[in-house]
Structures are given as structure tokens and as C-alpha cells.
Structure 1
């Protein structure tokens, strides 16, 4: 049981805002990438696919950093929890924890402790959804270029 309701509400609020921001970044990134790929020359099919893959990977890295930075900032607030295995937790520890959560690899050497677990668990769910969305986007873009 977590008796510090201010910390709990802060974590839930920041989690909701972070998920909204990351989803918006992903959506706008895919829209811009789709437009940009469509405007490329017809003979560049293979390059278009590679540009799409690298673009999606770059989007995911940005999203992991957004999650990691917001987690790290939350850990500065009292009673929000900590990261076991990182004393004190640094920015790169929070980004690493976000990366292994976002990619649904799971944590092992670093583990969230306390109320921050809610945010880290939500990071995993959001990462799973965004990775599936990227896979759909990549499939549709490849199909569009290879059909021509």
C-alpha cells in the first residue's frame, strides 16, 4: 500500500501525459515519414524501405528517451519510488529501464520499486502498441512501394 497520495497522483498524471505525448509524437512522425517517402523518386524502392525502417527506429528511440526522462524526473520527487540496482538512479539508468520496458524485454538488472512501477508497466504496454503500429506502417509502406 502506498500512503503518499500526492506521489501516486503525480505518477498517474505524468504517466497519462507521457503516453499522450509519445502517441502524438509517433502519429505525427509516421504521417511525416509517409508523406516524405511518397514524394521520393519512383526508382528508389529499396531505399524507401530502408528510410522507413530507420525512421521508425529513430521514432522509437525518441519515445524511449521521453519515457526515460519523465521517469527520471519523477524519481526526484519524494515517495515516488526508486530503481533497484541504481543508487542513485541517473538519467541513463531511467532511459535504459524505459528501453527494456518499452521493448517488452523486461527488467532484470534494474527494477522499479514503489509507485513508479505503474509508470514503468505502462511504458511496456505503450511500447508494445507502438511497435505493433510501426510494424503495420512498415508493412503497408513496403506493400505500396513494391506493388508499383
Structure 2
């Protein structure tokens, strides 16, 4: 029994609820990775090549770009942070793919 079967969400409201829930979950996870990057940088495990990466928003921007697998390259990590960036990119790709599957199921679900 799925979540949408237990709760009578149909049509546009179901799609909006799923979309906003999944988007929020992705932003929170990218934020957790950004916190991990900051903690690892503070511990001396690596850094970022661009010198003006000095705010939390810069690291969060890098994390969102990396999580979505865009890889723009304007900021990139060094040292052991490269491994964490690879893990984040793979994790983001898998979770965004799962989210697309959930959205597909919500949109194609027939009312019973």
C-alpha cells in the first residue's frame, strides 16, 4: 500500500504535494552535503580552487550544482573533498531519478 493510496490525494493537489515535498527534500540534502563540505574543509581535508569561496552560500551553490550533476566547474574541490563531491553527484543523480519515478506514479495513478 503506497502513501497516495492511504491518503486520498488526487489530481493537481497530489502532484503539487509530491513536487514540493521532493524539491524540499533535495534542497535539504544538498544543504547537508554543503555542511559536510564546510566541516571537511575546516578539518583540513581539502578546499576549493576558487579563492573567493568564503561564504556558506558559495559552498551551498557548489553543493546544489554538484547534487544536480550539472558540474559547471566555476568552483571545484581539491583534496579529499573531490571524493565527497563524487559521492554527492552520484547520490543526487539516483535520488532525482527516484523522484522522477514518484512524480510519474503520482500523475498516472488512477482513482479507485
TM-score normalised by structure 1 residue count: 0.67
**Superposition RMSD on alpha carbons, in Å?**
1.9
**Separation in 1, partners of 2:54, 2:85:** 14
Secondary structure of the corresponding residue to residue 126 of structure 1: helix
Q: Is the 8 A contact 1:49 1:141 kept in 2?
A: yes
Q: What count of residue pairs does the alignment treat as equivalent?
A: 110
CA drift at 1:36: 6.5
Q: Is the 8 A contact 1:86 1:110 kept in 2?
A: no
1:132 equivalent in structure 2? 97
Unaligned 5+ segments in structure 2 are none
1:109 equivalent in structure 2? 74
Runs ≥4 in structure 1, deviation > 4 angstroms? Answer: none
Which of 24, 27, 50 is the equivalent residue of 1:58? 24
Q: Is the 8 A contact 2:67 2:88 kept in 1?
A: yes
Unaligned 5+ segments in structure 1 are 1-33
CA drift at 1:88: 5.3
**Separation in 1, partners of 2:26, 2:51:** 24
